[in-house]
Chain A
Amino acid sequence: MPKSRINQSSLWRVLLVLPGLAIYLAMIIVPILMCLYLGFFDWNGIRENLSFVGLDNFWRAIIDREFQNSLKTTLFFTIPGTLLVNLLGLFLAILINRPGWLSKFYRSSFFFPVLISTVAIGFIWKALLSYNGMINVFLVGWNLEAIDFLGSVVLAPWAILFVNIWHDVGFIALLYLAGLQAIPKDLYDSAAIDGANSWQQFRAITFPWLAPALTSSVIIIFTAYMRMYDIPFVMTSGGPGGATQTLAIQTIRVAFNQNQFSYGASLAMYMLVLIGVISIVLTHYLRKREDQLIN
């Protein structure tokens, strides 16, 4: 090809890529780098001159009991959360995978919460679960003891986990439903002829074929829950006593409320690395499984 033609080609490509890439670099990549840079100093968000402190902030995070606690809490939400949302989502998908208006109605009702803002959801459930909330109004009305769902160090995390699952399971159910409907029907027919019962059909046909849907669902929920902020922030502000404080909440609190932006930056870096590494490992493993199962 003549040289001028190639140059022109590259120019058009650059033009197509530039707007998106430029904004992305400016608003996302550069800030991450700034964040990493600041983690090595001791900026408090106000002062104009910083002093270099090397790895101090990063070391401090490791021995910080509050960080360990936030990590534990976040993992409590993420691991059971991912499992439960996927199990329940799959279960619901199977149940509504039949024709008819009733299934459509069920489908719509599960999906509904997904569209509502997490802030609104948080307040709605707060109105229901708080000590003077609707549910306790009922309990007291039936002469039972009121339960402090959100004020108990033991119950509050479960309440937050529950609300998150309530919000997200509908979406995952639909993902699995789409996956279910993509499975060729004749596979089931031949299995039935061979005498396989429902459970065996599920194990041999359904589950393997759902591998792509599973990969997507697990990654989506995992990355979302590791970054959980809105619902615990609105419902309990991370309390009581930090029992529902996630990494995201601690990071903002440290950076903004405690005048320690540099320490907050180091926490953010930990979050990024943690989520990144686990995501990559998880995706790799799930994709490999996908390939194996589809063949």
Chain B
Amino acid sequence: MKTAVLIRDRATSFFLNSVMMVATLLFLVPIYITIVNAFKTKVDILTSPMDLPFDRLTLNNLARNIDSEQFNLLIGYGTSLVLATVTTLLVLITASMFSYVLSRRRQQIGYQYIYLLLLLGMMLPVQAILLPIVKILSLVKLMSTVWGVLLVYIGWYMPFAVFTMAGYIGTISPQLDEAALIDGANEWQIFFKVILPLMGPVIASVAIYIIVWTWNDFVTPFIILGSGDFYTVTMGIYRAIGQYTQRWEDVFAILLFAIGPMIVMFLFMQRHFMSGLTAGALKG
């Protein structure tokens, strides 16, 4: 009886492992194809898409596409980097302050209305507000500028950041607040000196989300930066690849440039990514 169970367990195990292998291939093969074919000549790509012919690899595709008419790598990376870091910084600052008050005062009617208002923003499709946003940005002369996109992002990520951080602050005992209050501190000081230092994990969590989302975002910078002088990586690949589905040697090279940074970041910071992202979602 024990052997039977053992064999059945082994069989199940083998079966499950095979399923996992196939699933893993499904997830990794498209990436593999992109990376590998970026280094092959067009002929090689067409004749044997899956192969990695070490003797015929070329850097030509990459070199040719570093600065094409539609997509200059430096501008793309630069713009995306600035957007991602500055957005994250500003969101963290404004949202943390906001969420502190919201969390501590959640019984008050006024703040409950604000809570509902934030909820509204989480369900909105960004397309719905794009043209009014353009009008608003143009009134303050920020259309087609990086600052304009930043403002939109800060507003856009506010609900997510506030909810996540407010949830976390809820687990910090209010007695700390009271103790500081008795010592004569005002709310501003309580937040910056007592609460904020304790918010490390959730800040890291939110930061990771916002960096990844901003780096990968397409529609908002596409509409606001438009055909201006600056463009993000996502805009760049859309313009560069556009309608070409068959210029493989260029398409894959451009895609490799686009996903390269994420691959590198992922390889080095796997654990942080995965724990940060899931911790945040569950608490929220």
Direct contact of A and B (CB under 8 A): yes
Verify B23–A92 contact, CB threshold 8 A: yes
Which B residues contact A (CB, under 8 angstroms)?
A: 16, 19-20, 23-24, 26-28, 30-31, 33-34, 46, 49, 93-95, 97-98, 100-102, 105, 114, 117-118, 120-133, 135-136, 151-152, 154-156, 158-159, 162, 186-188, 191, 212, 215-219, 233-234, 237-238, 241, 245-246, 248, 251-252, 255, 258-259, 262, 265-266, 270, 273-274, 277-279, 281-282, 284
Contact present for A9 and B186 (CB under 8 Å): yes
With both chains docked as a complex, state the minimum distance between the C-beta of A108 and any C-beta of chain B, in angstroms. Answer: 6
Contact assessment for B27 and A170 in the assembled complex, using a CB-CB cutoff below 8 Å: yes
Partner of B270 from A24, A108, A171, A220 at Cβ < 8 Å: A108
Q: B245, A116: Cβ atoms under 8 Å?
A: no
Minimal beta-carbon separation of A282 from chain B (angstroms): 11
Q: A179: which B residues are within 8 A, CB to CB?
A: 282
A124 touches B188 (CB 8 A): no
Interface contact B281-A175, CB-CB below 8 Å: yes
Interface residues of A in 14-29 (CB under 8 A from B): 15-17, 19-21, 23-29
Q: Does B122 lie within 8 Å of A223, measured CB to CB?
A: yes
Check B121 against A29 for contact (C-beta < 8 Å): yes
Contacts of B282 in A (CB 8 A): 175, 178-179, 212-213, 216
User: In the assembled complex, how far is the CB of residue A29 from the closest CB belonging to chain B, in whole angstroms?
Assistant: 6
C-alpha spacing A224/B167, complex, angstroms: 21
Decide: B258 and A117 in contact? CB cutoff 8 A: yes
Given A16-B188, A16-B191, A23-B94 in contact, is the A178-B219 Cβ separation under 8 Å?
Answer: no
Contact partner, A20, options B94, B136, B219, B238, Cβ 8 Å? B94
Number of interface residues of A (CB under 8 A): 89
Taking CB atoms, residues of chain B closer than 8 Å to A29 are 117, 120-121
In contact, B121 and A31 (Cβ under 8 angstroms):
no
Which chain A residues numbered 100 to 151 have a C-beta less than 8 Å away from chain B? 105-120, 123-128, 130, 132-134, 137-138
Q: Are A19 and B94 in contact (CB under 8 A)?
A: yes
A12: Cβ under 8 A from any B Cβ: yes
Q: Once the chains bind, are A95 and B128 in contact (CB under 8 Å)?
A: no
Q: Does A31 lie within 8 Å of B133, measured CB to CB?
A: yes
| B274–A13 touching, CB < 8 Å | no
Q: For B127, give its contact among A15, A126, A252, A276 (CB under 8 Å).
A: A252
B123 touches A117 (CB 8 A): no
Distance in angstroms from B70 CB to nearest chain A CB is 14
Given A20-B162, A132-B245, A216-B281, CB of A34 within 8 Å of CB of B121: no
User: Of residues A31, A174, A178, A271, which shows the largest number of chain B Cβ atoms within 10 Å of its Cβ?
Assistant: A31
Q: Is the interface of A mostly helix, strand, loop or mixed?
A: helix
Residues in chain A near residue B19, CB distance under 8 A: 95
A218 at the interface (CB under 8 A from B): no
Q: Which residue of A has the minimal Cβ distance to B256?
A: A120
When the two chains form their complex, are residues A28 and B125 in contact, meaning their CB atoms are under 8 A apart? no
- Check A71 for interface membership: any CB of B closer than 8 A: no
- Return the chain B residue nearest A163 by Cβ: B30
A-B pairs, 4 with minimum CB distance: A27-B155, A268-B128, A117-B216, A20-B98
Select one of A24, A126, A265 contacting B245, CB under 8 A. Answer: A126
- Please, how many angstroms separate the alpha-carbon atoms of A261 and B133 in the complex? 13
Q: Is the Cβ of B246 less than 8 Å from the Cβ of A166? A: no
Is the beta-carbon distance between B123 and A106 smaller than 8 angstroms?
no
Complex CA distance for A32 and B279, rounded to whole angstroms = 31
The residue of chain A having its C-beta at the shortest distance from the C-beta of B159 within the complex is A24
Taking A106-B24, A127-B248, A170-B27 as contacts, is the C-beta distance between A112 and B266 under 8 angstroms? yes
Q: When A15-B188, A124-B30, A251-B127 are in contact, do A133 and B158 touch as well, CB less than 8 Å?
A: no
Q: Which residues of A contact B94 (CB under 8 A)?
A: 19-20, 23
Q: A137 and B46 in contact (CB under 8 A), knowing A13-B105, A223-B122, A230-B219?
A: yes
In the complex, A77 has a CB within 8 A of chain B? no
* Closest beta carbon of chain A to B65's beta carbon, Å: 14
User: Contact between A20 and B158 (Cβ–Cβ < 8 Å)?
Assistant: yes
- Encoded as 1 (CB less than 8 Å from any B CB) or 0, chain A from 19 to 62 comes to 11101111111111011001000000100000000000000000
New contact pairs (14) apart from A116-B31, A128-B33, CB-CB < 8 Å: A12-B187, A17-B97, A24-B117, A24-B121, A31-B133, A110-B27, A123-B237, A127-B251, A127-B255, A220-B281, A229-B127, A230-B218, A248-B125, A255-B131
Best-surrounded residue of B23, B122, B127, B191 (most CB of chain A within 10 A): B127
**Closest-CB distance, A101 to chain B (whole angstroms):** 12
Min C-beta distance of B157 to chain A, whole Å: 10
Q: Are A130 and B158 in contact (CB under 8 A)?
A: no
Q: In the complex the two chains form, is B98's CB within 8 Å of A32's CB? A: no
Q: Which of A250-290 contact B (CB under 8 A)?
A: 251-252, 255-256, 261, 264-265, 268-269, 271-272, 275-276, 279
Residue ID in chain A nearest B29 by CB atoms: A128
